[in-house]
Structure 1
């Protein structure tokens, strides 16, 4: 890998996550009520603990634990209901927007509620050029290209925060002078070196972490490296409220003695293959079965037992292991061609996936709920309606924006509140769609029949059916409950559910999911909009073009100057008052004739040219005279 071409990527975990998503829900409640930070806090969905804060974990609580067990282990635990995701979604979007505001080029990618990848390559490259190598301890990071005063001071001789491999510096920082082994084969102070860029990246990470905590009240954990894969994993080394930088060398080819192991290989070695981002449960299960020579014992939602662990070091050391063998192992089973080659790259720390540009709208929106079992159509229909309502609410939050069209100022229709007689209602802000989903999808999951021993296996597979999105759901004239009822009874049940389950009853459904996908962004004036909103352009053209409009009013032959009673302005015959400009050299005005069009549409006044005799309209006299004045 070339140091000069490697982008610096940072993975941001909105805090309280022992594992990426663990504690984000709890952090939202703690941000609302800081007194909860010192108490054991658990967030409940259904009858289980979906996450808990670190105080609760210290007392033995864990995620996916039954609420009954959690209360028994910790009687004073504070349990908050977290089934409504609205506040968590809003908090996630707020933090994402805050971080994205600092990143050049909108190179920010949100993953779930609590993870954000930030590609700060351009920011690092720009600030490397600003370094004064004669005064590195007093360097300045410029956050805005157009304003050199916006930024912060930092010490460019040390990495900020903990590192991997760990250093011996008491404060946890990595000093260039005292860590020569971390940059073998290159000078740490060489302009543009990977080590120097990581130093700058670590200080930017600390600055944004501190600003996020001071401004929003959320702490965070950050990993700093050159790819999404490495930054995600190295961020897990020091948690919570910390950051970790993966030190060079990243490539053993940079070493002279040939014995120095790449820090990437050294770091990834103890990780189980299932913990590598991009390697899913079924892929890891197939690879483990081949490496262990048996089927693994751990289930899909169970914690991996030690006997089933296969680390990346184990896999790289397996006889004959490589991309070809992995392709053979993963041949069939629904994996696309080349999956083995991709997996081989991931376990060696190679991840070329770029950080996606920030999106104005999500790629899809889905709402689901699980049940003990649904066996009758009436029960299914009853449960689909609240899901459809929540979906439509989400669509209006994520896919609409205020319409700043000036015409909307006079829209007083469809007022929800009672207006007393004589009161002028306050205008309701009009909305417009940022994107229109083209596809509506329904997914269901069935309970599997029980085994002979009476135990029912978990069914992870779903069946889905899609149809075109009905147009009526984009109407703002109907309220959400009415639209949801129409959507369920007119589209979802007859067109989707009945085709998925043609039987009248007895399905044993334990999950329902409604999703809208295939987003098509609408035109608009915002950055990232797909084209222009032509409807809005037509509505605004009268106002926009008014300052350049030339009016041609119908005025009778004897009405040279008529006062408009409405505007108080003087109507001009043609374009402007050109009295006297049509006189010939003798001053008699020539054939000054005015012809009134019998249709009453136009008024044409012309003069005969004194040179050629052609009748010329007033507005062309000057141009015609200029024509005669030009040399032949």
Structure 2
């Protein structure tokens, strides 16, 4: 069965900052650039620079193992994500500033999708079709002098497949046959210009992919790492011979295709191999167990119905077969989401070996609440605003209405002393109105946090756990949600009057509500380009809308009963196998 028709009228650029966590630390201390550097969260390495990788280190290694492989590795604790979050936000705003639309979408801390179609369309109309070699890319429609010169007859940077010579002859007209080629050429030069500015003005390098969809742009960018860019060049259609899209996608292991989760990839491998794959989760160590897209796509009877048979079941989307079939054919027409001015929620959490005493819980609530207040001030305050007298008066760009406290109990011990996954117990939450004093800037974050704990969070906790003996808690999460933008032009904005925002809050939040969320054990697995700290647990088995929000920046952790380490849930399967392998 044929796939959906691909929309090749767009130009999408995907930015992936190189070794982002390590790069942020290197920017603070340039001396680290020449040293093997690893960033630690809990007991694992969440990322490391290329010098460390050259010496054999990799993501998700235990710290103990990393030190054995590279004794002189410099390990820096990365539990506090504030500096990484702030740099990510700054770089995102910088890249977004080039666009004429708001179609700039973040994926975690270190990836950004940009839909530059409007800019390409406009500059296509400006090309001198009789002298493409001396072209000018206009960056501002209001000022035609702002831009850069470029050669519109050839791609800038690397291509897949590699092109020899110019894809367009000089001094030629741009006809329909060359339209897609020409548009991608313009996209490649724009991407190079933005990469150069990012490096020169902010000191960060990025690996970039250019194509007509998010799927293809992300994948093709991975071909040449680091600090490079790659354009997936036409033909994109089989009518012009072998499509470069199929050639490119076919050579990927199915687990590397965004949108095909770990469970789905495992089921497809089992069907193709007629047996269970035995390689370690999240790795490709056993080549015999790899299944390439080509093998799946060209299997007799393979198509949406067969994929539905393989992947369907409880919790699966009814059109999952059609969704996966399109991904296998390089079809992804999902839009680059418009930039959100404010986040949908701000959330802080931490995991524990087991909290049993209320005094310890209250101490952790104070720490989490202080971090939450700092995040709220960082993300929702506009420091650039001025009052009518010209004085600097930071204003709130949005105000959350709802305060939420969530906890999760640690699983009790089984008869053999083991414990079930604690996240299988689910989280229990209590919500209530945000107190007005949270938005006071006259006091420190710690002072506001202490009041928040005493006035709100302790009461919520007592209602969640009325018994003094509440067992062992493995996780506490504090969040603010239900954002209302302020001082905006649209009808939904509430203006700068905080009192007005709270006026009708009683009707919107009648009473605190207890809710229990059961988390599926499926964790969306992206390719190795994603930093571990940006992966979030999802209740969906496979999300064809494969972009992820960074609302929950720190993943939930699972306590290992063997070594006592806290391991992020997405890595726990691999960690368990680590202990199972003989020394």
Which segments of 5 or more consecutive residues in structure 1 lack a partner in the other structure?
16-22, 179-186, 410-427, 539-632
Q: Are 2:386 and 1:404 equivalent residues in the alignment?
A: yes
Residue equivalent to 1:167: 163
Query: Equivalents in 1 of 2:309, 2:6: separation in Å?
Result: 33
Residue equivalent to 1:74: 70
Classify the secondary structure of the residue corresponding to 1:393. Answer: helix
Residue equivalent to 2:301: 320
Residue 297 (structure 1) shift: 4.4
Classify the secondary structure of the residue corresponding to 2:331. Answer: coil
Contact (CA 8 Å) 2:119, 2:139: kept in 1 or not? yes
Residue 301 (structure 1) shift: 5.8
Q: Are 2:461 and 1:480 equivalent residues in the alignment?
A: no
Query: Equivalents in 1 of 2:283, 2:453: separation in Å?
Result: 36
Query: Equivalents in 2 of 1:94, 1:264: separation in Å?
Result: 34
Residue 211 (structure 1) shift: 1.2
Aligned pairs, number: 493
Query: Equivalents in 1 of 2:401, 2:250: separation in Å?
Result: 43
Q: Are 2:15 and 1:33 equivalent residues in the alignment?
A: no
Residue equivalent to 2:460: 495
CA spacing shift, 1:451–1:439, aligned 2, 3 Å? same
Residue equivalent to 1:533: 495
Residue 341 (structure 1) shift: 1.8
Residue equivalent to 1:390: 371
Residue 496 (structure 1) shift: 5.5
Query: Equivalents in 2 of 1:233, 1:510: separation in Å?
Result: 37
Q: Are 2:89 and 1:93 equivalent residues in the alignment?
A: yes
Q: Are 2:18 and 1:10 equivalent residues in the alignment?
A: no
Residue equivalent to 1:202: 188
Query: Equivalents in 2 of 1:4, 1:324: separation in Å?
Result: 23
Query: Equivalents in 2 of 1:129, 1:478: separation in Å?
Result: 55
Contact (CA 8 Å) 1:92, 1:114: kept in 2 or not? yes
Comparing 45-54 and 386-395, the one that deviates more: 45-54
Specify which of 153, 161, 168 is matched with residue 176 of structure 1: 168
Query: Equivalents in 1 of 2:354, 2:273: separation in Å?
Result: 37
Query: Equivalents in 2 of 1:319, 1:507: separation in Å?
Result: 55
Superposed counterparts of 1:169-568, under 5 Å: 175-176=167-168, 190=176, 193-252=179-238, 254-255=239-240, 260-297=241-278, 305-402=286-383, 404-406=386-388, 429-438=393-402, 440-444=404-408, 446-447=410-411, 449=413, 452=416, 458-459=421-422, 461=424, 462-472=426-436, 474-476=438-440, 478-495=443-460, 498-499=463-464, 504-505=468-469, 507-524=471-488, 530-531=492-493, 533=495, 535=497
Contact (CA 8 Å) 2:22, 2:38: kept in 1 or not? yes
Q: CA RMSD in A?
A: 3.2
Specify which of 45, 53, 73 is matched with residue 57 of structure 1: 53
Query: Equivalents in 2 of 1:448, 1:318: separation in Å?
Result: 46
Classify the secondary structure of the residue corresponding to 1:60. Answer: coil
Contact (CA 8 Å) 2:411, 2:422: kept in 1 or not? yes
Residue equivalent to 2:124: 128
Contact (CA 8 Å) 2:405, 2:429: kept in 1 or not? yes
CA spacing shift, 1:232–1:261, aligned 2, 3 Å? same
TM-score, normalised with respect to structure 2: 0.76
Larger Rg: 1
Residue equivalent to 1:20: none
CA spacing shift, 1:158–1:307, aligned 2, 3 Å? same
Contact (CA 8 Å) 2:6, 2:331: kept in 1 or not? no
Contact (CA 8 Å) 2:400, 2:481: kept in 1 or not? no
Query: Equivalents in 1 of 2:443, 2:321: separation in Å?
Result: 51
Query: Equivalents in 2 of 1:136, 1:479: separation in Å?
Result: 59
CA spacing shift, 1:343–1:132, aligned 2, 3 Å? same
Contact (CA 8 Å) 2:214, 2:336: kept in 1 or not? yes
CA spacing shift, 1:531–1:475, aligned 2, 3 Å? closer
Query: Equivalents in 1 of 2:177, 2:140: separation in Å?
Result: 21
Contact (CA 8 Å) 1:465, 1:496: kept in 2 or not? no
Classify the secondary structure of the residue corresponding to 2:356. Answer: strand
Comparing 332-341 and 457-466, the one that deviates more: 457-466
Query: Equivalents in 2 of 1:2, 1:128: separation in Å?
Result: 24
Query: Equivalents in 1 of 2:282, 2:358: separation in Å?
Result: 30
Contact (CA 8 Å) 2:39, 2:47: kept in 1 or not? yes
CA spacing shift, 1:380–1:239, aligned 2, 3 Å? same
CA spacing shift, 1:451–1:6, aligned 2, 3 Å? farther
CA spacing shift, 1:130–1:192, aligned 2, 3 Å? farther
Residue 359 (structure 1) shift: 1.5
Contact (CA 8 Å) 2:221, 2:230: kept in 1 or not? yes
Which segments of 5 or more consecutive residues in structure 2 lack a partner in the other structure?
501-583
Query: Equivalents in 2 of 1:458, 1:303: separation in Å?
Result: 25
